[in-house]
Amino acid sequence: MKLLDDNSTFDEAYDVARELANTSCQFYRTMPSCIEPAMDFFKVTLTFDPSQIPSTVSLPPFDPYIYALDGQYHGPYGTRNWEAHLKQFSGSELFNNGLFGQVDDASQTPNYFINANQFPWALNITSDWKHPKESVDIRNAYPKFADWVTSSGEQEKSWYQLENAISNKLYEQE
Protein backbone atom coordinates (compact mmCIF):
# COMPACT_ATOMS: atom_id res chain seq x y z
CA MET A 1 0.00 0.00 0.00
CA LYS A 2 1.34 3.39 -0.92
CA LEU A 3 1.30 6.20 1.58
CA LEU A 4 -1.66 8.50 1.03
CA ASP A 5 -3.46 5.79 -0.91
CA ASP A 6 -7.18 6.61 -0.85
CA ASN A 7 -7.79 3.19 0.71
CA SER A 8 -5.11 3.31 3.41
CA THR A 9 -6.01 1.63 6.69
CA PHE A 10 -5.86 4.82 8.72
CA ASP A 11 -8.00 6.79 6.31
CA GLU A 12 -10.61 4.01 6.45
CA ALA A 13 -10.39 3.86 10.25
CA TYR A 14 -10.86 7.62 10.39
CA ASP A 15 -14.01 7.39 8.28
CA VAL A 16 -15.51 4.79 10.62
CA ALA A 17 -14.42 6.61 13.79
CA ARG A 18 -15.94 9.84 12.48
CA GLU A 19 -19.27 8.04 12.10
CA LEU A 20 -19.06 6.50 15.59
CA ALA A 21 -17.76 9.50 17.51
CA ASN A 22 -20.00 11.51 19.78
CA THR A 23 -19.80 14.92 18.14
CA SER A 24 -20.39 16.77 21.43
CA CYS A 25 -17.00 15.61 22.73
CA GLN A 26 -13.62 17.07 21.92
CA PHE A 27 -11.83 13.74 22.40
CA TYR A 28 -13.20 10.26 21.88
CA ARG A 29 -13.27 7.78 24.79
CA THR A 30 -11.20 9.82 27.20
CA MET A 31 -13.87 11.07 29.60
CA PRO A 32 -16.81 9.04 30.98
CA SER A 33 -19.31 11.46 29.46
CA CYS A 34 -17.76 11.03 26.00
CA ILE A 35 -18.50 7.45 25.14
CA GLU A 36 -20.25 5.69 22.36
CA PRO A 37 -21.52 2.16 22.92
CA ALA A 38 -20.87 1.18 19.31
CA MET A 39 -17.46 -0.27 18.61
CA ASP A 40 -15.83 -1.38 15.45
CA PHE A 41 -12.92 -3.71 14.96
CA PHE A 42 -10.48 -3.69 12.10
CA LYS A 43 -8.80 -6.65 10.51
CA VAL A 44 -5.84 -5.89 8.30
CA THR A 45 -4.75 -8.46 5.75
CA LEU A 46 -1.53 -7.95 3.85
CA THR A 47 -1.06 -9.74 0.56
CA PHE A 48 2.47 -9.63 -0.79
CA ASP A 49 3.51 -9.86 -4.40
CA PRO A 50 4.67 -13.49 -4.81
CA SER A 51 7.40 -12.38 -7.20
CA GLN A 52 9.16 -10.46 -4.42
CA ILE A 53 12.09 -12.10 -2.74
CA PRO A 54 11.04 -12.89 0.86
CA SER A 55 14.02 -11.01 2.27
CA THR A 56 12.63 -7.76 0.82
CA VAL A 57 9.49 -8.00 2.95
CA SER A 58 9.87 -6.33 6.32
CA LEU A 59 9.91 -8.46 9.44
CA PRO A 60 8.74 -7.42 12.91
CA PRO A 61 8.88 -5.10 14.63
CA PHE A 62 6.47 -3.36 12.31
CA ASP A 63 5.98 0.38 12.31
CA PRO A 64 2.33 1.16 13.01
CA TYR A 65 1.90 4.91 13.15
CA ILE A 66 -0.62 7.69 12.94
CA TYR A 67 -0.51 10.83 10.85
CA ALA A 68 -2.48 14.03 10.59
CA LEU A 69 -5.08 14.26 7.87
CA ASP A 70 -5.04 17.37 5.74
CA GLY A 71 -8.13 19.47 6.32
CA GLN A 72 -8.47 18.42 9.98
CA TYR A 73 -7.19 20.64 12.79
CA HIS A 74 -4.23 19.10 14.63
CA GLY A 75 -2.60 22.24 15.96
CA PRO A 76 0.00 24.38 14.19
CA TYR A 77 1.82 21.36 12.72
CA GLY A 78 -1.29 19.52 11.55
CA THR A 79 -0.68 18.62 7.94
CA ARG A 80 0.01 15.22 6.42
CA ASN A 81 3.71 15.55 7.23
CA TRP A 82 3.01 15.24 10.99
CA GLU A 83 3.37 11.65 12.24
CA ALA A 84 3.77 9.75 15.52
CA HIS A 85 5.73 6.48 15.43
CA LEU A 86 7.13 3.99 17.89
CA LYS A 87 10.41 5.31 19.29
CA GLN A 88 12.69 3.08 17.21
CA PHE A 89 11.33 4.44 13.93
CA SER A 90 12.27 7.82 12.49
CA GLY A 91 9.21 8.48 10.33
CA SER A 92 8.05 7.78 6.79
CA GLU A 93 9.32 9.52 3.68
CA LEU A 94 6.45 12.00 4.08
CA PHE A 95 7.35 12.98 7.66
CA ASN A 96 8.73 16.49 8.17
CA ASN A 97 12.03 15.93 10.06
CA GLY A 98 11.97 19.63 10.94
CA LEU A 99 9.34 18.76 13.53
CA PHE A 100 11.92 16.88 15.63
CA GLY A 101 12.82 18.97 18.66
CA GLN A 102 9.65 21.07 18.46
CA VAL A 103 7.40 21.67 21.48
CA ASP A 104 7.74 18.56 23.71
CA ASP A 105 9.73 16.37 21.33
CA ALA A 106 13.22 15.31 22.45
CA SER A 107 14.08 12.90 19.62
CA GLN A 108 17.73 12.00 19.12
CA THR A 109 19.08 9.08 17.11
CA PRO A 110 18.31 6.20 17.71
CA ASN A 111 15.29 7.18 19.83
CA TYR A 112 12.59 9.20 18.11
CA PHE A 113 9.12 10.42 19.06
CA ILE A 114 9.94 10.78 22.76
CA ASN A 115 9.72 13.57 25.33
CA ALA A 116 12.41 14.85 27.71
CA ASN A 117 11.67 11.98 30.12
CA GLN A 118 12.27 9.52 27.25
CA PHE A 119 8.56 8.65 27.32
CA PRO A 120 7.41 7.51 23.88
CA TRP A 121 4.64 9.21 21.92
CA ALA A 122 3.31 5.79 20.87
CA LEU A 123 3.06 2.39 22.55
CA ASN A 124 2.74 -1.06 21.01
CA ILE A 125 0.61 -3.04 23.45
CA THR A 126 -0.62 -6.27 21.92
CA SER A 127 -3.35 -7.06 24.44
CA ASP A 128 -6.37 -5.26 25.86
CA TRP A 129 -5.26 -2.20 27.81
CA LYS A 130 -7.08 0.33 29.93
CA HIS A 131 -5.70 3.79 29.25
CA PRO A 132 -5.55 6.55 31.87
CA LYS A 133 -8.39 9.02 32.25
CA GLU A 134 -8.10 12.34 30.45
CA SER A 135 -5.46 14.55 32.13
CA VAL A 136 -4.06 11.68 34.25
CA ASP A 137 -0.30 11.24 33.87
CA ILE A 138 0.45 7.68 32.78
CA ARG A 139 2.91 7.37 35.69
CA ASN A 140 0.05 7.96 38.12
CA ALA A 141 -2.10 5.29 36.48
CA TYR A 142 0.73 2.82 35.87
CA PRO A 143 3.48 3.42 38.47
CA LYS A 144 5.90 0.94 36.86
CA PHE A 145 5.80 2.71 33.48
CA ALA A 146 8.71 5.07 34.21
CA ASP A 147 10.99 2.19 35.25
CA TRP A 148 10.09 0.34 32.07
CA VAL A 149 10.99 3.42 30.02
CA THR A 150 14.26 4.22 31.77
CA SER A 151 15.41 0.59 31.50
CA SER A 152 14.69 0.57 27.73
CA GLY A 153 12.05 -2.08 28.32
CA GLU A 154 14.32 -4.46 30.24
CA GLN A 155 12.57 -4.00 33.61
CA GLU A 156 8.90 -3.92 34.57
CA LYS A 157 7.84 -5.63 31.35
CA SER A 158 4.33 -6.12 32.72
CA TRP A 159 3.86 -2.44 33.65
CA TYR A 160 0.72 -2.17 31.50
CA GLN A 161 -1.17 -5.10 33.00
CA LEU A 162 -4.23 -4.30 35.07
CA GLU A 163 -2.78 -5.72 38.28
CA ASN A 164 -0.04 -3.06 38.06
CA ALA A 165 -2.46 -0.17 37.57
CA ILE A 166 -4.17 2.25 39.92
CA SER A 167 -7.74 1.44 38.91
CA ASN A 168 -9.34 4.76 39.86
CA LYS A 169 -6.93 6.52 37.47
CA LEU A 170 -8.09 4.48 34.46
CA TYR A 171 -10.78 5.38 31.95
CA GLU A 172 -13.94 3.35 32.44
CA GLN A 173 -17.14 3.45 30.46
CA GLU A 174 -20.09 4.24 32.69
- DSSP codes of every residue in 27-94: STTSSTTS--S------------TTS-GGGS--SSP---EEPPTTS--STT-STT-EE--TT----TT
Q: What is the pTM of this model?
A: 0.73
Task: Determine the Cα–Cα distance for residues 36 and 39; give it in Å rounded to an integer.
Answer: 8
Q: 113, 87 in Cβ contact below 8 A?
A: yes
CB atoms within 10 A of CB 169: 17
Q: 118, 125 in Cβ contact below 8 A?
A: no
* pLDDT per 10-residue tile (average), the chain, 174 residues: 46 56 58 62 72 67 83 76 93 92 94 95 90 93 97 96 96 76
What pLDDT sits at residue 1? 35
Task: Determine the Cα–Cα distance for residues 112 and 100; give it in Å rounded to an integer.
Answer: 8
Q: Give DSSP secondary structure letters for 136-148.
A: --HHHH-TTHHHH
Q: 157, 126 in Cβ contact below 8 A?
A: no
What pLDDT sits at residue 16? 54
Amino acid, res. 146: A
What pLDDT sits at residue 11? 55
